[in-house]
Structure 1
């Protein structure tokens, strides 16, 4: 079941209320899951039921994405603000240093939460921030193209395309190596989520200067990369290992940028092992 929670986030002009939408299921130690730019919390659906047998799983829509409202005036869509938002979110839900997993932008946020010692462990799937400038421009170009296409396609056409394997491939093969595994309903929903994400443009702009350059001592870190990632190329995982030398680097064979759909059993195992 989905829910919402509101909490104050400090700004130079005083606290501002932020509201986010989330879902929670399972039992065990808490595991917070953060999606990538333009996606929504349902990106984790293929692995949630597996994880929920051993973890208290919290999936959340980032502010300005999915069902979460935009950030209020006075808050920027930058890394520092979003990290502060999720630190406050954990406090509001009385999550005492949860484990955290993230994909793409969510992976970068998970690493930043780990750097601030807000979490017990980090598992980052194809995290942003380990790119060269050329790789960043390429990734941003792909994301902008996806965004524009999602906004220009009429809903009846998206629904018609989603009903066939070829259509689902056309709509989602940039992020999935096995797009036909995604259900028609999920493809329609995430296309609409990308088109309607109010935080997309500001988040992308703020990411232009982002690099993750710090080690994360003292907590377990796992970095996993799909062998068929078409947005953040897998060689960026080697850079992540160089920057975070104690991290466990895991290859995800046959997986794309959002590997949860491509191999749910493998990704769930990586998340569970990373949060031991």
Structure 2
């Protein structure tokens, strides 16, 4: 299968991976600013935007799709679900991922007895049911959940809505399969295996991936944690300047 990838800028290669329910268009402003220093590749994950669907649809197949698209080592920045894909890629092909940044991402997205820092199973199940009943309304509800608690929630929501409209919305099979990934993924035990430099960028008001996830990852991996005060699930939008500054500072050290 082929991935839709937009490339801009020059320099070392940096791959941007979006989250569930959207496509690479969400990175437009971030990519433009980072492209003054790097060759930025904005990917539509399979079944999203301009990319074809892939089967089976799981972290391993998504990682293989990326690995086939990028023959040389790259830096990776993954948001939410895209961060989990980045973790899988770095674990499977450690010599391909030069560095990994996790933005509002988690090694385990669903709550369980020993992991309260995640979305409840009821919420994820409601999204799955809603996709079948009212596809568009469910996506809109998900966008709203991402900005809950954010200091600039309305502005961030408008940005997410505008981004979604710029390309084809994700295919229903990709959304359903993506939810299964969110429900079933648990990479906590493999985080110590990551061999690449790691940066963590999180918002302290994130209702979907609480800041405690960032603290846990920092403790387990020894990675640098950047906390964006007042940010929800999309700090690269709400706190763009600080996010870009932290990202460039990290990358320039690699």
Q: TM-score, normalised by structure 1?
A: 0.75
Q: Which residue of 1 aligns with 2:216?
A: 239
SS in 1 for 2:186: coil
SS in 1 for 2:205: coil
Q: How does 1:55-94 map to 2 (within 5 A)?
A: 55-71=38-54, 75-91=55-71
Q: Which residue of 2 aligns with 1:203?
A: 178
1:114–1:219: 8 Å Cα contact kept in structure 2?
A: yes
Alpha-carbon spacing, 1:106–1:150, altered in 2? closer, same or farther (3 Å) = farther
* Residue 53 in structure 1 maps to residue 52 in structure 2: no
Please state how far the C-alpha of 1:78 moved relative to its aligned partner: 1.1
SS in 1 for 2:7: strand
Q: Which residue of 1 aligns with 2:227?
A: 251
2:156–2:234: 8 Å Cα contact kept in structure 1?
A: no
Q: Which residue of 1 aligns with 2:201?
A: 224
Q: Which residue of 2 aligns with 1:104?
A: 80
1:122–1:274: 8 Å Cα contact kept in structure 2?
A: no
Distance in 2 separating the partners of 1:198 and 1:35: 17
**Unmatched 5+ stretches in structure 2:** none
Please state how far the C-alpha of 1:137 moved relative to its aligned partner: 4.9
- Count the aligned residue pairs: 237
Please state how far the C-alpha of 1:142 moved relative to its aligned partner: 5.4
Distance in 2 separating the partners of 1:189 and 1:238: 30
Please state how far the C-alpha of 1:171 moved relative to its aligned partner: 7.8
Please state how far the C-alpha of 1:255 moved relative to its aligned partner: 1.3
Larger radius of gyration: 1
Match of 2:135 among 151, 156, 160: 151
Q: TM-score, normalised by structure 2?
A: 0.81
SS in 1 for 2:145: coil
SS in 2 for 1:113: helix
Q: Which residue of 1 aligns with 2:14?
A: 31
Distance in 1 separating the partners of 2:97 and 2:70: 9
1:64–1:70: 8 Å Cα contact kept in structure 2?
A: yes
Which aligned runs of 4 or more in structure 1 are off by greater than 6 angstroms?
none
**Unmatched 5+ stretches in structure 1:** 1-17, 159-169
Distance in 2 separating the partners of 1:250 and 1:189: 25
Please state how far the C-alpha of 1:47 moved relative to its aligned partner: 1.3
Q: After superposition, what is the alpha-carbon deviation per residue over 1:29-59, rounded to whole angstroms, capped at 9, x for unaligned?
A: 1100000111110111221221011010100
